[in-house]
Amino acid sequence: MNNIMKTAISMAMLFIAQGALACDYPQRVDMPDGASAAKDEMIAGQKDVKKYMANMETYLACIEAEEAQAVIQLGEIDDETARQREEMFNKKYNAAVEEMNLVAEEFNIQVRAYKAKPK
């Protein structure tokens, strides 16, 4: 009975640890329309973009930790499986970074539109 309990507790801890590392992809922010937004709307938009970027950095760190934990749990794997895992992780990571770049560029476009408005 003691071994069964230890196994059950170990399995529960494994599932809890995986749940703790569940990485939530941040929701994209709404951009202010630079052509019509007021200064306070642009400032609020900037704050939202900064918060989004911080959340994305947290997400990236989370998926790195999640992948590292998965590799440890898998133990020794063949080269092809390791290559596939690395390729999939890189695609996921790079897609998130690309999304960050797109949000930053979109906000910069709105800032330029705001600055180009007649005063």
pLDDT value at residue 8: 46
Q: Quick count: other Cβ atoms within 10 Å of Cβ 43?
A: 12
Number of domains within the chain: 1
User: What is the pLDDT, as a whole number, of residue 119?
Assistant: 77
Domain span at 31: 2-116
Question: Are 110 and 42 within 8 A, CB to CB?
Answer: yes
* Residue 20: per-residue pLDDT: 52
Q: Is 6 exposed, middle or buried (0-12, 13-18, 19+ CB in 10 A)?
A: exposed
Q: How far does CA 29 lie from the centroid of its chain?
A: 14
pLDDT in tens, the chain (119 residues): 555 544 445 444 444 444 455 899 999 999 999 999 999 999 999 999 999 999 999 999 999 999 999 989 988 888 998 899 999 999 999 999 999 999 999 999 999 999 999 87
